Amino acid sequence: MAAVVVPSSMQISITVVGNKNGKRMSSHNRQILKLKSRKTFKTRASFEDVNFSTAKVVTIRYSDLAVPNYPKLRKNLLQLSHRLAALPDDAKKNLEDPDSRYSFGWSHGKEKLESGQPDKFKGSFYANPIVDVPTNVEDLIQRYPSYCRENVWPKSTLPELELAFKDLGKLIFNVGSLLAAHCDKYVAKQNWDAPSLKDILGRSLCHKGRLLHYFPIVQSDNNSTPWCGWHTDHGSLTGLTSAMYMKGDSEVNCPDNTAGLYIKTRTNAVVKVSYGENNIAYQVGEATEILSNGLFHATPHCVKTAKGEKASGIERNTFALFMQPNWDEPMYNLVSVAYLHKELMKSNGSMPFGDYSEQLLNKYYGLHSP
Ligand SMILES: O=C(O)CCC(=O)C(=O)O
Ligand SMILES: [Fe+2]
């Protein structure tokens, strides 16, 4: 691989189960693994030396290149999230793509909360940072619109967005691919039967970036509804920047230190994930749980709202990169995720990743499967 530019330090939160004999560990032994890296992944450091039966936090040091660009790329893009959300409504409407169920371009109030109400708490801008036109095959575009339609960029209303989004998305992808290689080594060491995560991600045209803008909570909403409810991501790995909080046009510290990202450990403990602006966090998604035959587990997570008087007018901006298999990647043994999605089980236990995602989108958008 060419020199990969990575952040000067990085934190990864990833949930792993398994033991040396390739058997599933009992639930009390499942651990959260956190990796911290000062330099790059290009070293002998890996999961291999980790004792998962005792480790909760694992620090891995890397030997190469510090990466000066990441903090700048993060800041550039997250500031644009604020500006995008502040565009006039008709400009944002022009960026909507209903035919992909709002999986490209601007999406606000389209997704359903668990209560069935539209999610008005956040606005998202979705695009594939790696490829603008994944395919020209009409059948595929019809069948997998959320992956196969084209990116929509605000070329006239916010022209800087495209480059800033692609630059950060590609960087987080490159770092995530190195992490995937470490996952593969770990799988091999366990003598576990699973395809290569790095290869799956390398051949995919389905990666999706999501620029998120959480609107300020108005006093009447100032209750227990989270900015983003508990869920697992359905892709392979999700790279996350740390959030930028803003009041008006200015960046501010978050006035409520209980606000932000929380995950559940394998023992169901709820843990606040704190990581600095120079760090990237990676979470495991459902596709990795499925394709690793349960060695890795999808990480449940949610985002708690900033509360209290000082939180009034505070917005949250962040970026997620969903690294996902290609639409035709077979997903076997879906029974293993029946605990997450009972409705997918009529599928005979296997389907391509594209169908898996389209069905989940139907669920989140309150539509029925075809
Ligand atoms: O806002 C965050 O930190 C997490 C967002 C998230 O979980 C998602 O977009 O799936
Ligand atoms: Fe998520």
Contact 342, 369 (CB under 8 A): no
Q: Each residue of 87-116: pLDDT tens digit?
A: 999 999 999 999 999 999 999 988 777 777
Chain mean pLDDT for the chain? 79
Give the tokens for residue 316: 């949250």
**Atom 6, ligand 1: residue with shortest CA distance:** 320
Contact 316, 304 (CB under 8 A): no
Per-position b or e across 51-84, b if 16+ CB within 10 A of its CB: ebeebeebebebeeeebeebbebbbbbbbbbbbb
CA distance 86 to 341: 36
Contact 208, 128 (CB under 8 A): yes
Q: Each residue of 126-179: pLDDT tens digit?
A: 999 999 999 999 999 999 999 999 999 999 999 999 999 999 999 889 888 878
Interacting residues of 150 by C-beta distance below 8 A, sequence separation 6+: 104, 132, 133, 134
Contact 339, 289 (CB under 8 A): no
Q: Each residue of 177-195: pLDDT tens digit?
A: 878 887 888 888 888 889 9
User: What H or E segment, with its residue span, contains residue 286?
Assistant: helix 286-291
Q: Each residue of 191-249: pLDDT tens digit?
A: 888 999 999 999 999 999 999 999 987 755 545 678 888 989 999 999 999 999 999 99
Residue 25's pLDDT is 31
pLDDT exceeds cutoff 60 at 369: no
Ligand sitting nearest the alpha carbon of 213: 1
Among 216-230, 272-286, 291-305, 312-326, which range has the highest average pLDDT?
312-326
CA distance 366 to 196: 34
Kindly state if the Cβ of 261 falls inside 6 Å of ligand 1.
yes
Is the pTM higher than 0.75? The answer reads yes
Interacting residues of 338 by C-beta distance below 8 A, sequence separation 6+: 344, 345
Give the tokens for residue 206: 């389905």
pLDDT band of 348, cuts 50, 70, 90: low
pLDDT exceeds cutoff 90 at 326: yes
Kindly state if the Cβ of 315 falls inside 6 Å of ligand 1.
no
Domains and CATH numbers, the chain: 68-365 (2.60.120.330)
Min mean pLDDT across 59-63, 211-215, 273-277 is at 59-63
Q: Each residue of 328-341: pLDDT tens digit?
A: 999 987 877 777 77
CA distance 92 to 157: 9
Residue 177's pLDDT is 87
Contact 328, 353 (CB under 8 A): yes
Q: Give 88: exposed, middle or buried? Use CB within 10 Å, 0-12, 13-18, 19+.
A: exposed
Kindly state if the Cβ of 320 falls inside 6 Å of ligand 1.
yes
Ligand sitting nearest the alpha carbon of 227: 1
> How close is the Cα of 223 to the center of ligand 2, in Å?
21
> How close is the Cα of 63 to the center of ligand 1, in Å?
30
Atom of ligand 1 nearest to the CA of 301: 7
Atom of ligand 1 nearest to the CA of 233: 10
